[in-house]
Structure 1
């Protein structure tokens, strides 16, 4: 069993959070890291021919919507003024 735990922590590792600390920011950072990890898996599956480009696109689009919803629900970035480009 400990070997399985080591594999899981290796595959799902998270980096330390260095940003402004609030519970919401920390939760969003965890969601962002999970998003990035899943995108990496999808990319590898598509590159290896295990899923189609269309399926990869749909999966990534779904994950992106989940991340956007998470950001909105947590209120992350709500008080940051927008800069003009």
Structure 2
């Protein structure tokens, strides 16, 4: 597969929106993690809707993804000092 076709396929399968928030490396990293979380939840929801996953399996997978996202937020220090971030 040509590089341009591979890039187009990846852009379709793993879309990412531009980040417009206040730039810090931590915020940018968390935004990427959040977009990946949303994409994975969408895939899991589709699999459950299509009967490929049971509701319990879908819930368990999404719960695991949520825990990863929470860990990422904590590790990056997002939301520690809300008063400092808003200034």
TM-score (norm 2): 0.89
Separation of aligned partners in 2, 1:18 and 1:3: 28
* Cα shift at 1:77: 1.1
Q: How does 1:1-85 map to 2 (within 5 A)?
A: 1=1, 2-81=4-83
TM superposition outliers: structure 1 runs of 4+ over 6 Å: none
* Cα shift at 1:4: 2.9
Separation of aligned partners in 1, 2:30 and 2:60: 22
| Number of residue equivalences | 81
| 5+ long unaligned stretches in structure 1 | none
- After superposition, the CA RMSD in angstroms is 0.9
TM-score (norm 1): 0.91
